[in-house]
């Protein structure tokens, strides 16, 4: 069985001048990987006829599946559709279903009159199979030539994702006999990448050839990922269930590859237990959410320097309202006093960025938000506001419950946003350790 | 003068399996554009010897400048350095400055003992010019062959950015006679992309050939960008000053291109005044920050469904502590009552997602945080929690001051994160309009 290889082409000047960050490619790659389709190449080109044409030529020499996003909007800088019409030869026709969809969106969702330009969204090359867009006006287009599949989708993330999930991925799975690919991921904190590598060197060197280990450092944490690729095709039902656990539960045969990667992952997990945050491919805030749910406890936050970012991370997880009660973002000192009960004397004597203040903030959050646990942060995120005593990047973090509060000082040395992110990560990890060390 | 064209190659399996979103390329493209270097192609390849080699071959046929990031870490999956050593022919040598830097980072910054693996970070091919890394252990490498420049940098964003700003961009500016490129951007809200296009159709059709118009829709807003590209080289001092205004102020000659794009931009601005949020390339939260500073007013937020995201957007702007006092993130109803004074009767009669509740939240934030303006949000972000009466995506937003409160209902139909983002954007824009309509 041959390896099924895909390329992703993203189209748009906004990607090449850097006005927009491409998040679509990462999502598409994740989804394709789940089904054993390997993305070998990702390329971004501008709204330039020759460049798009050349990218189509090059990627079709490289891959059997070419996924294209962008350039399908109703404005003059969007040239993907006429280009594909010319590339695959044919003429433009109106697709009735797409036209009904555009009408429906304007009448029912947008409640605005439609203009000629919108109607043209329903025109497609007669050389393609139309993929209906349930979330927007631009239809997707599926072309085939010389055994290659080309799919053009809108660049709007939720429209692209819906089309991929509803139509494109299911069809690709039917069309190709796909290999088995699996990832096992764990997240560590508190150890640098090179020390981790040294620590698991013998393990890494002894890994079978079919398994690859990757180090993914981010926000002061390192994610370790094992990937196995085997020729054994996966049974569709298994792929849909998507995990080794459910495979076992439903008694379907677990392939040799699954056993092998699980064994290696168990060994790896044993080696890094000390620093392990979670052995699933989830975020720190998700891991904390599970901990709190398991113990039936609640959390509140009192954020100065992180300015609501910790609250945002926690509340971005569905169902977080079951354990998260809220935050007092006390950017001004008077809010620290009025809403969290931090004593004006403490602020005068030690300043807002001090151990004493974050301890009082934790107490204020526990009482005011009425929670079992609380986190407090106060620091100088930059670029301004630093002093010789308290330079930019200096942060106090405290976590605690009604019995005990732990405070710790950190020094970060990055830009404002990264300092905020690192403070949030460290605060969440400190809370995680605190919960684990607390008798429940 | 020839157009100077660059390619960006990003290396790493994590980019191709979608575990990491590439933010580096966008930043690099923005910086290169400022200096008139056009990024024609961006490509992502995995940690695969042949794929990286092929990308180097292909991009060197296409561009004079090839910027490479990633694969320089201390672990076994990082193969960029040995590959470049082989590609450009030569042998590995220890760079003394890089070695001193690695030692310094371990002794002074990390305060950890160094291991052999870290020392090897100081080894470089003798065929390159070393670019010192002031923010990490992996040095950058500058190679030249047949008139092409290849620069390899670490993938860690702040290390790459530092190297670009300190060394690479200044050197590129010296080496190439660069064209003049300028962008003028304005942000609109409350009008769809196609209606905007229809509204400015005549303007767009009459644009001179040297100017391009792009539509960049995001979070329910549309950014319009004019780009001019002219052969006239920019005087270095002007480029450093970086804007038409400072050019005029310092009496340096303003080129024909600058006059031309400014005229067109003024026309465009006149056409879209009704929907214009800002005529600079800044975010909505930055525009609001400027408004508040100008009027000497303060802001507080009371966030339920946005869970701190509005506070995070506002506090990500340096200097926001001058006008932003804080937020009560009232995820739980008892926090709405206890910290914001929302009446339990209101919650019982109308529910948390209601006009009455968000109005009381605004009043509670104005009083409790003692601010001139306040924003409140309450809604159902999904995927769970919807009811027939109050489906997922239903949101109430209120903005106001002590004299007046305006509340509005919205219905979003996306996933949780996008619903949060859209609520935040709409709340901020509602506040912006409220401030503008308030006699100061």
Per-residue pLDDT tens, chain A, 440 aa: give them: 467 999 999 998 888 887 777 889 989 998 998 788 989 899 999 999 999 999 999 999 999 999 999 988 877 778 999 999 999 998 999 999 999 998 888 887 677 788 888 888 899 999 999 999 988 889 999 999 999 999 999 998 889 999 999 999 999 999 998 877 788 999 999 888 888 999 999 999 999 998 988 887 777 789 898 988 776 554 444 444 444 444 444 333 346 888 999 999 999 999 999 999 999 989 999 999 999 999 999 999 999 999 999 999 999 999 999 999 999 999 999 999 999 999 999 999 999 999 999 999 999 999 999 999 999 999 999 988 889 899 999 999 999 999 999 999 999 877 898 899 999 999 999 999 999 999 87
Of B198, B368, B420, the CB nearest to A338: B368
Q: How far apart are CA B144 and CA B154, in angstroms?
A: 18
- Residues A105 and A91: their CA atoms lie apart, in Å, by 26
How far is Cα A325 from Cα A370, in angstroms, rounded to an integer? 8
Look at residues B391, B366, B400, B44 and name the one whose alpha carbon lies nearest to residue A44.
B44
Contact A416 B309 (CB under 8 A): no
Just give the CATH number of A5-175.
3.40.980.10
> Tokens 């020094």 sit at which residue?
A411
Cis peptide preceding A383, ω within 30 of 0: yes
pLDDT at position B20: 75
Q: How far apart, in whole angstroms, are the C-alpha atoms of residue A98 and residue A139?
A: 6
Among the four given CATH numbers 2.40.30.20, 1.10.3720.10, 3.55.40.20, 3.30.70.2860, the one describing domain B180-278: 3.30.70.2860
Rounded CA gap, B323 and B431, in Å?
Answer: 14
CATH 3.90.950.20 for domain B284-437: yes
The size of chain A, in residues, is 440
Distance from CA of A143 to the nearest CA of B (A): 23
Q: What strands lie across the sheet with B276-278, from one edge to the other?
A: B211-218, B221-230, B180-189, B276-278
In chain A, what residues touch B76 (CB-CB under 8 Å)? Answer: 197, 204, 213
Interface touch A77/B415, C-beta < 8 Å? no
- Is residue B270 exposed (0-12), middle (13-18) or buried (19+ Cβ within 10 Å)? exposed
Residues of chain A contacting residue B47, judged by C-beta atoms under 8 Å apart: 214
Calculate helix-pair angle for B284-295, B416-437, nearest 10 degrees: 30
Which ranges in chain B are annotated with CATH 3.30.70.2860?
A: 180-278
Classify residue B294 as exposed, middle or buried by CB count within 10 Å of its CB (0-12, 13-18, 19+): exposed
Q: Do A383 and B217 count as a contact with CB atoms less than 8 A apart?
A: no
Q: Which residue of A has its CA nearest to B42?
A: A44
| Residues B56-62, mean pLDDT to the nearest whole number | 94
B197–A384 C-beta distance less than 8 A: no
Q: How far is CA A390 from the centre of its chain?
A: 34
pLDDT at B371 over 80: yes
Phi and psi at residue B187, in whole multiples of 5°? Answer: -110, 130
**Rounded distance, CA B10 to CA B160, Å?**
12
ipTM, two decimals:
0.80
The overall pTM is greater than 0.90: no
**Angle formed at CA A173 by CA A170 and CA A176, multiple of 5 degrees:** 150
The partner residue sitting opposite B326, judged by closest CB among A17, A216, A331, is A331
Shortest alpha-carbon distance between residue A74 and chain B (Å): 6
Quick check: B151 and B68 in contact, CB under 8 A?
yes
Cβ-proximal residues to B251 (8 Å cutoff; 6+ apart), any chain: none
Residues of B in contact with A382 (CB under 8 A): 318
Query: B247: distance to nearest CA of chain A, Å?
Result: 23
Q: How far is A6 from chain B (nearest CA, A)?
A: 10
First and final CA of chain B: distance in angstroms?
A: 53
Nearest to B216 among A14, A28, A368 (CB): A14
Taking contacts as CB-CB distances below 8 angstroms, the residues of chain A near B383 are 318
Q: Which is nearest to A396 in space by CA: A439, A438, A426, A435?
A: A426
Cβ A131 vs Cβ A139: under 8 Å: yes
Instruction: Give CATH 3.40.980.10 domain extents, chain B.
Output: 5-175
**Number of A–B residue contacts, CB under 8 Å:** 316
> Chain A: residue nearest B424 by CA?
A312
- At B342, list the tokens: 């929302």
Question: Which residues in chain B are classed under CATH 3.90.950.20?
Answer: 284-437
Nearest by CB to residue B369, choosing from A51, A110, A335, is A335
Assess contact for A313 and A285: CB atoms under 8 A: yes
Taking contacts as CB-CB distances below 8 angstroms, the residues of chain B near A159 are none
- What CA–CA distance (Å, rounded) separates A33 from A149? 17
Q: Looking at residue B2, what is its pLDDT?
A: 63
Q: What angle do CA B42, B48, B54 make, to 5 degrees?
A: 55
Beta carbons within 8 Å of A96's beta carbon, 6+ residues apart: A122
Q: How far apart are CA B69 and CA B320, in angstroms?
A: 33
Tokens of A42: 């990702």
Of B15, B194, B227, the CB nearest to A117: B194
Name the residue in chain B with its Cα closest to that of A414: B158
What is the helix (H) or strand (E) element at residue A302, kind and residue range? strand A299-303
Q: Crossing angle for the helix pair B333-340 and B355-368, nearest 10 degrees?
A: 40
What's the distance, CA B120 to chain centroid?
Answer: 34
Supply the pLDDT for residue B242: 46
- A221, containing H or E segment: strand A221-230
- Joined together, the tokens standing for residue A210 give 């079919």
């Amino acid at each position: 069985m041959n390896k099924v290889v895909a390329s992703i082409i993203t189209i748009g000047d906004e990607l090449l001048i850097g006005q927009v960050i491409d998040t679509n490619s990462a999502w598409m790659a994740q989804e394709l990987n789940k089904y054993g389709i390997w993305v070998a190449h990702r390329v971004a080109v501008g709204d330039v006829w020759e460049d798009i044409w050349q990218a189509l030529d090059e990627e079709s020499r490289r891959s059997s599946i070419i996924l294209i996003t962008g350039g399908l909007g109703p404005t003059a800088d969007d040239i993907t559709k006429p280009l594909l019409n010319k590339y695959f030869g044919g003429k433009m026709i109106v697709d009735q279903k797409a036209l009904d969809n555009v009408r429906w969106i304007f009448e029912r969702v947008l409640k605005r009159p439609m203009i000629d330009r919108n109607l043209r969204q329903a025109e497609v090359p007669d050389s393609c199979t139309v993929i209906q867009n349930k979330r927007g006006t631009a239809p997707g287009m599926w072309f085939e030539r010389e055994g290659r599949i080309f799919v053009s989708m809108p660049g709007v993330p939720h429209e692209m994702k819906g089309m991929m999930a509803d139509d494109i991925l299911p069809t690709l799975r039917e069309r190709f006999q796909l290999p088995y690919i699996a990832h096992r991921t764990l997240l560590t904190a508190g150890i640098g990448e090179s020390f981790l590598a040294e620590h698991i060197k013998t393990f890494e060197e002894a890994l079978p050839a079919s398994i690859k280990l990757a180090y993914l450092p981010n926000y002061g944490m390192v994610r370790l990922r094992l990937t196995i690729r085997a020729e054994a095709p996966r049974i569709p039902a298994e792929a849909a269930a998507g995990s080794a656990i459910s495979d076992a539960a439903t008694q379907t045969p677990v392939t040799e590859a699954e056993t092998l990667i699980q064994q290696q992952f168990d060994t790896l997990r044993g080696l890094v237990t000390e620093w392990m945050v979670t052995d699933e491919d989830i975020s720190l805030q998700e891991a904390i959410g599970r901990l709190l749910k398991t113990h039936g406890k609640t959390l509140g936050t009192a954020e100065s320097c992180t300015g609501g970012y910790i609250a945002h991370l926690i509340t971005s997880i569905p169902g977080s309202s079951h354990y998260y009660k809220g935050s007092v973002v006390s950017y001004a000192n008077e809010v620290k006093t009025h809403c969290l009960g931090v004593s004006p004397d403490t602020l005068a004597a030690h300043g807002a960025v001090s151990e004493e203040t974050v301890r009082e903030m934790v107490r204020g959050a526990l009482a005011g938000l009425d929670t079992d646990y609380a986190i407090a942060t106060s620091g100088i995120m930059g670029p301004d506001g630093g002093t010789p005593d308290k330079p930019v990047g200096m942060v106090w973090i405290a976590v605690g419950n009604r019995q005990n509060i732990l405070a710790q000082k950190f020094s970060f040395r990055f830009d404002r946003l990264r300092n905020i992110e690192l403070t949030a990560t460290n605060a969440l990890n400190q809370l995680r350790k605190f919960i684990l060390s607390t008798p429940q």
